[in-house]
Amino acid sequence: MSSLQDQLKSLGFAPSAAAPEAESDKGVTIDTSVPVRIQRQTKGRKGKGVTVVMDLPDQPELLQEYASALRKICGVGGSVKNSTIELQGDQRQPAQQWLEQKGFKVKQAGG
C-alpha cells in the first residue's frame, strides 16, 4: 500500500510550496489554489433556478461531505452530479461564504 502522499500525487493533488492548503475532517490535504466557480443556472430546468458549485477537487467522498454541509447551511435540497454540487434555488452568497471559510478562492460565474 502506498503512502497517503503518493496517493494524492497520483490523483493530481501534489501541493506546491506556495499553494494554500485546507485540511478536511479526515486529514486529507486539499489544494485550494484553484478557484471554485459558483453559478446560477435555469436552462433545462423548467425555469427553476439552481446554484451549481464547480471546480472542486474530484473526490467523491469530499464532494458528498461538502454537499451535505452546504445543504444544511442553506436549508435547501441538493445533490452531487458530474463532479459538481447542485443546490436548489439561488444560494450563491451563503455557498461562497462557506467555501471561503474553508480556504477556497471563489468566483461567481455567469450573470
Which domains does the chain carry? 34-108 (3.30.780.10)
Q: Which of 87, 95, 101, 28 is nearest to 58 (CA)?
A: 28
Please compute the mean of the pLDDT values over residues 42-56 and round it to a whole number.
89
pLDDT of residue 53: 94
Q: Is the pLDDT of residue 77 over 80?
A: yes
pLDDT of residue 34: 82
Report the distance separating Cα 18 and Cα 90, nearest Å: 34
pTM of the predicted model over 0.85: no
The residue that leads in pLDDT, 82 or 16, is 82
Pairing of the two strands 36-41 and 50-54:
antiparallel
Q: What are phi and psi of 72, to 5 degrees?
A: -70, -45
